[in-house]
Amino acid sequence: MVVLGVLAAVVPLSQLSPLTHAIWVFVFCSLGALEIAVIVRDAEQRNKQFLQERHTQNMQVSRILESVVEIPRTTAALLQSQVDVDKATQAHLPPDSPKRRVLALAQDILRFLAARQVAEPRLPRSETWEADTEAMIRHSRETMARYLERFQVPVASIRHEFANQGVTNKKLEDYYEYPTNPLGVQAVAEGLIALAEQLPDTPSGGDVEQRNNVHDGPDAVR
């Protein structure tokens, strides 16, 4: 458009003969069409470059996700192993054992979490990125909704019962009210297991060990 502006400033069309006037009008129109074509071409090139960069970024993220594709299955397997260990521990405890009650709740949570992780949607792929991402988010939200409906009250009840006796666990304190995500749910279960370790095997098994703020395992992301 700069060229047209310069020509309009230096060429007084009103002072030209009809033929010359027509020639200059043709020149103006041709230059205008050329500049519009250049603008459109530049816009298309920028859009193409943007799409290529976006595709490259998606491919890079996909490769990163593919490198950790076994993590959910591995985590689920570890959780199931912990469930089996807790079940074996409970077998040696009397039915009215406070430790057994707490371990049973932790076991139920870990079993629930392992089942949800096994059923997780596939990791996002570049060609179906948005749909895959939405599926993962939807699954995570559904996991948390089911956890809260099933376990929020029992966990809070156990926590309050033993907190009133002076028995607490830092990880459980941090996450029991609302664990935010599946990692937080795992932290709740781990906190319950650590809490159970402070409890007697039987109701009359002696004083509760005052090992507050036991913290086993890595922190979960809130």
Question: Distance between CA atoms of 62 and 65, rounded to whole angstroms?
Answer: 5
Question: Distance between CA atoms of 45 and 132, rounded to whole angstroms?
Answer: 29
Q: Which residue in this structure is represented by tokens 């799409």?
A: 51
Q: Which of 49-58, 110-119, 137-146 has the highest mean pLDDT?
A: 137-146
Question: Distance between CA atoms of 172 and 214, rounded to whole angstroms?
Answer: 9
Report yes or no: 198 and 167 within 8 Å, Cβ to Cβ.
yes
Question: Distance between CA atoms of 188 and 86, rounded to whole angstroms?
Answer: 15
Question: Distance between CA atoms of 102 and 110, rounded to whole angstroms?
Answer: 12
pLDDT, one tens digit per residue, over 177-220 is 989 888 899 999 999 999 999 988 877 544 444 444 444 444 44
First to last CA, the chain: 55
Q: Which residues does 213 contact at the CB level (< 8 Å), separation at least 6? A: 168, 169, 170
Question: Distance between CA atoms of 160 and 163, rounded to whole angstroms?
Answer: 5
The DSSP letter of residue 92 is: T
Task: For residue 47, give both structure tokens.
Answer: 């859009």
C-alpha radius of gyration, the chain, whole number? 34
pLDDT, one tens digit per residue, over 30-60 is 777 777 877 877 777 776 776 666 666 655 5
CB atoms closer than 10 angstroms to residue 71? 12
**The pLDDT value given to residue 85:** 55
pLDDT, one tens digit per residue, over 167-186 is 999 999 999 998 988 889 99
**The pLDDT value given to residue 176:** 93
Task: For residue 123, give both structure tokens.
Answer: 């990791």
Q: How far is CA 193 from CA 101, 114, 163, 177, 207, in A?
A: 11, 16, 15, 17, 18
